[in-house]
C-alpha cells in the first residue's frame, strides 16, 4: 500500500516542477492563449451568431477551441520533458509511475483550466451567451478532466514518435468524441434553460468517461513510459 501523504507529495512535486518550468518559459500558456483567442475571434467574425443561433452553436465552437488549444499544451508538456531529459530522471526516481501520470495530468489540467477561464468570458462577450454560470462551469470542468487525462496518456505515447505534433491529434481526437458530444449537449441544454438535473444523462456520461479513462491510464501508463 502507498503512503497517501507521500504519494500526494510526489504528485505535487511533479506539478510544482511543471508550474515552475512554465513560469520560466511561458511557452505552453502563451501558445494556448494566442491560439484559443485567435480561434474565438475567427469564429466570431466568420459566423453571424446572434440569438438562438449563438446559443445553439456556442457550445460546439467553445469546445472545438478548447480541444485544439489544449492539444498544443499537451504536446509540449511531454515533449519538453523528453528534450530536457527530465523524463529520464522521473523514471529513475523512486516514484510510483501512476504518481508521474497524475502529476503530469494535474499540471496539464491547471494550464488548460487557466485558458478556459479566459475563453469563457471572451465567448460570453462575443457571442452574448451566459456561459459564466455554475452549472456550465461544472460541465466544463468534468469534460476538461476527461480530456486532460486521455490527452496526457496519449501525449506520452506520441512523444516517442518523429511526427508527435501530428500524431497526438490523430490519436486524441477520436477518443475525445464522447467528451465533446456530452459536454456540448449538456451546455447547449443549459443555455436553452434546462436544469442540471435535466441534462443529468450527459453529465453522468462525462463522469463515467472520466473514471474509465483515469483507471485505464493508471493501468497502462507504466507500460507507455517504458518506451519513452
- What are the residue boundaries of the structural domains of the chain, listed by start? 4-225
* C-alpha distance across the termini of the chain, in Å: 27
Low-confidence ranges of the chain (pLDDT < 70): 1-2, 48-51, 164, 227-228
pLDDT of residue 77: 80
Cβ(103)–Cβ(14) below 8 Å = yes
Looking at residue 185, its pLDDT comes to 95
pLDDT, tens only, 32-45: 999 999 988 888 88
Classify residue 73 by its DSSP letter.
Answer: H
Using alpha carbons, select from 203, 1, 217, 18 the residue that is nearest to residue 103. Answer: 18
> Phi-psi bin for 73: left (phi > 0), alpha (psi -120 to 50), beta?
alpha
pLDDT attached to residue 223:
82
Say how far apart CA 16 and CA 173 lie, in whole Å. Answer: 28
140-168 pLDDT, tens digit each: 999 999 999 999 999 888 877 777 678 88
Predicted confidence at residue 51, as pLDDT, reads 64
d(CA 146, CA 129): 25
Quick one: pLDDT at residue 110?
94
Quick one: angle between helices 134-158 and 200-225, nearest 10? 20
**pTM of this prediction?**
0.90
Amino acid at each position: 500500500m502507498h503512503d497517501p501523504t507521500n504519494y500526494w507529495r510526489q504528485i505535487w512535486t511533479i506539478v510544482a516542477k511543471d508550474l515552475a518550468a512554465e513560469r520560466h518559459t511561458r511557452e505552453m500558456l502563451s501558445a494556448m492563449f494566442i491560439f484559443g483567442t485567435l480561434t474565438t475571434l475567427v469564429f466570431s467574425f466568420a459566423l453571424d451568431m446572434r440569438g438562438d443561433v449563438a446559443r445553439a452553436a456556442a457550445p460546439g465552437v467553445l469546445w472545438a477551441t478548447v480541444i485544439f488549444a489544449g492539444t498544443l499544451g499537451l504536446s509540449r508538456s511531454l515533449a519538453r520533458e523528453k528534450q530536457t531529459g527530465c523524463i529520464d530522471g522521473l523514471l529513475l526516481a523512486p516514484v510510483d509511475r501512476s504518481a508521474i501520470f497524475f502529476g503530469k495530468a494535474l499540471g496539464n489540467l491547471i494550464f488548460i483550466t487557466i485558458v478556459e477561464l479566459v475563453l469563457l468570458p471572451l465567448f460570453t462577450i462575443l457571442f452574448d451567451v451566459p456561459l459564466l454560470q455554475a452549472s456550465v462551469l461544472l460541465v466544463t470542468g468534468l469534460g476538461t478532466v476527461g480530456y486532460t487525462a486521455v490527452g496526457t496518456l496519449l501525449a506520452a505515447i506520441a512523444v516517442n514518435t518523429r511526427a508527435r505534433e501530428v500524431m497526438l491529434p490523430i490519436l486524441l481526437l477520436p477518443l475525445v468524441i464522447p467528451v465533446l458530444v456530452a459536454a456540448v449537449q449538456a451546455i447547449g441544454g443549459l443555455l436553452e434553460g434546462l436544469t442540471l438535473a435535466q441534462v443529468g444523462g450527459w453529465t453522468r456520461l462525462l463522469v463515467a468517461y472520466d473514471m474509465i479513462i483515469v483507471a485505464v491510464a493508471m493501468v497502462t501508463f507504466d507500460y507507455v513510459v517504458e518506451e519513452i
